Amino acid sequence: MTYDVQTFGDEHGLPAPDGRFLDRELSWLAFNERVLDMAADTTMPLLERVNFLSIFPNNLDEFFMVRVAGLKRRISTGLAVPSVTGAQPRSTMRSLTKNARILARRHADLYRKDVRPRLEAEGIFVIGLDELTASEREGMAELFNERVFPVLTPLAVDPAHPFPYVSGLSLNLGVVLRHPRSGAEHFARLKVPPVLPRFINVAAFDGPRSSAGPEIPVSPESPARFLPIEDVITAHLDSLFVGMEIVSASCFRITRNEDLEVEEDDAENLLKALEKELERRRFGPAVRLEITDDMHPRVRELLVNELAIDESEIYELPSPLDLRGLSVIADIPREDLHFPKAVPIVSRDLAEAESSEQPDVFEALREREILLQHPYESFSTSVQAFIEQAAQDPHVVAIKQSLYRTSGDSPIVDALIEAAQSGKQVLAVVEIKARFDEANNITWARKLERAGVHVVYGIVGLKTHAKLCMVVRREQSGLRRYCHVGTGNYHPKTARGYEDMGLLTADPQVGEDIAKLFNQLSGLAPGTTYSRLLVAPSRVREGLLEHIADATRRAEAGERTRIRIKVNSIVDERTIDHLYLASRAGVSVQLFVRGICAIRPGIPGLSENIEVRSILGRYLEHSRVFVFEHGPELEEAEAYIGSADLMHRNLDRRVEALVRLEDPRHIDEARHLFDLAFADDTARFDLDGDGLWTRASVDAAGEPLNDYQHSLHRVHRRRWSRQRG
């Protein structure tokens, strides 16, 4: 079924577009407000709260670099149109600015007035220059002279020195200087080099000197006294501007438009075009100026004029700016201030096939398909082991892999290189347009090519976001394909902090599907069809809409039905409209959404059967799961996992893949995620029809509700114990 979203509401009696969708951008800010709510939770371990405080500004940076920057560009060029909610572009910008300003101030106050005093009560201090002991001052002077001074470059502004380029997200000091004889005042800009640690533990320099440098780890027994690096520099400005009087020094930071616009004429030129665009991005226009509230008026005026910043784009905050650096403090190894340690287990299905110290993945897959959930189950002993064993196995003849994001010291990339150098045919589909990882991926693409890996960049005009790996192995019965379809990146580091799922399988049907998809990515096969996979941009939306429409028809016929969807974001209007129709027909709809949600739940006559929940915790909920149930006891179910969120970019402008689960155990495991998430006694955020999220963390008696992720750890351990027992 196809339709124009603008007329769909009239045809089916739904409200006009501006009455049935929540604003995407405001919903994104609401997600970051939920991150802030976690930082404000006094029942959470203190250093975990500090971690959420460091995540918030990083998220807000990306929001300004991409979403706000894009809207500003469209307004300035006259290309902006009303949003799907009917809001005018300038009105949307005013709302975003107002809400972002409120959140930024709340974030700063939460750190200064709540978290920082609690850190001090635990012996962890963020101090100012006036709080240094004599011994600490001596240590900071030595640190400055040996490690900081050599990398600083003061830049004066005068007729002979134009205003310097200021890189996006860099921390800078705006210094006002006075000539002692003439009395003339001058301005200088000093960039805080990103190679320096954001916060220095001065306690590490109070006593015998160590060659380990400023990032000495802090043990639970030792004192922790952190000084912002800009304060170290400020204390020694006289050695940079010899003979001048220091009138004032204050911090500022700008955010630039860093969204990429690459014209993909053909794949051959894509790498060079992207490199040029990355260079251009460094000089994108400023969209936000953060300054400290003690900034000298002259510096403020100069920055506004030179950066062409509007007053509405200035964010005046207390020191210190750029609290992303709090991650250094969040990593202090104080077990009493962190979540209890949780060690991933080896998948029970892999453990059964254990024939040595390392599970034999191929042996296990000849017996059954394996559904994985990280980080509850180990990534290194499953997905990573699968690829590494394939690289070393002399019977493996080919490996095909998609790479969207991976780590700087990736064992996955090393395994692909090892495989290619040993004579195996290796294909890597590297998505060099992965936002903010473009430079890393270009580096890896070239490294892979030099090692003899066939590197392709997917299909012109589409990002390759699907998480796929296929291993072709020569066996007695002939060639056999072993495959992995996942919801997350092949990134060993994020696999420890992101919740993701993956299916390992030797099913010939999946193998044929993935072989076809890789052929489409490396060659030309636009008419490809699939059996167990739904592949975007051709079939993910349509396939899901068919399932939603089927549930709607069943409900209209009096059958009990339920739709359960877990995604990072849902903004696709066609999908939302189908869910509204399903709700009106009596289908129960449960949406487990981490981030942006444009659907309005609980509206009488529209969405009273739709529930939306969000869960934030020690892991970032990242898997995408789709379950469709029907029958008197909802006993019949079909389930998919994969890489696609319900956003236009995923469904229309990316190569995505969902795989249908076949094993009844796996379908039950997918269903159990929703049973747990939507249980009345689970802590969560609930969304209402006005777009407001309400946190439920305690029951009527004031007792804490169950932590969803802690519960999943227990579930996986029980399953493992039963299997081993």
Q: Return the active site residues.
A: 465
- Residue type for position 538: S
For residue 201, count CB atoms less than 10 angstroms from its CB and return exposed for 0-12, middle for 13-18, buried for 19 or more: buried
Closest of 479, 495, 673, 672 to residue 567, by C-alpha: 673
Which residue is listed with tokens 């226009």? Answer: 285
Identify whether 89 is preceded by a cis peptide bond (ω within 30 of 0): no
Q: Please say whether the beta carbons of 121 and 165 come within 8 A.
A: no
Q: What are 420-423's contacts with CB under 8 Å, separation 24+?
A: 420/448, 420/451, 420/452, 420/453, 421/451, 421/452, 422/391
Per residue in 113-148, is it b (16+ CB within 10 Å) or e — as a string? Answer: eebbeebeeeebbbbeeeebeeebeebbeebbeebb
**What stretch of H or E contains 33?**
helix 24-39
Cα angle at 600 between 21 and 629, to 5 degrees?
115
Both tokens assigned to 340: 């209890």
Q: What are phi and psi of 464, to 5 degrees?
A: -95, 105
Residue type, 545: L
Cβ contact 298:157 at 8 Å: no
385 SS3 class: helix
Which strands make up the sheet holding 314-317, listed edge to edge? 154-157, 185-191, 172-178, 245-256, 286-292, 314-317
CA quadruple 87, 91, 93, 95: dihedral, nearest 10 = -90
Whole-number Å distance between alpha carbons of 307 and 257 = 13
Burial bucket for residue 11 (CB in 10 Å: 0-12, 13-18, 19+): exposed
Helix or strand (DSSP H, E) at 612? strand 610-614
Residue in 623, 629, 616, 658 with CA at minimum distance from that of residue 564: 629
| Residues facing residue 199 across a β-bridge | 228
Alpha helices by DSSP H, 438-507 = 438-450
Residues in CB range of 73: below 8 A, 6 or more apart: 257
Which residue's entry shows tokens 């045919």? 425
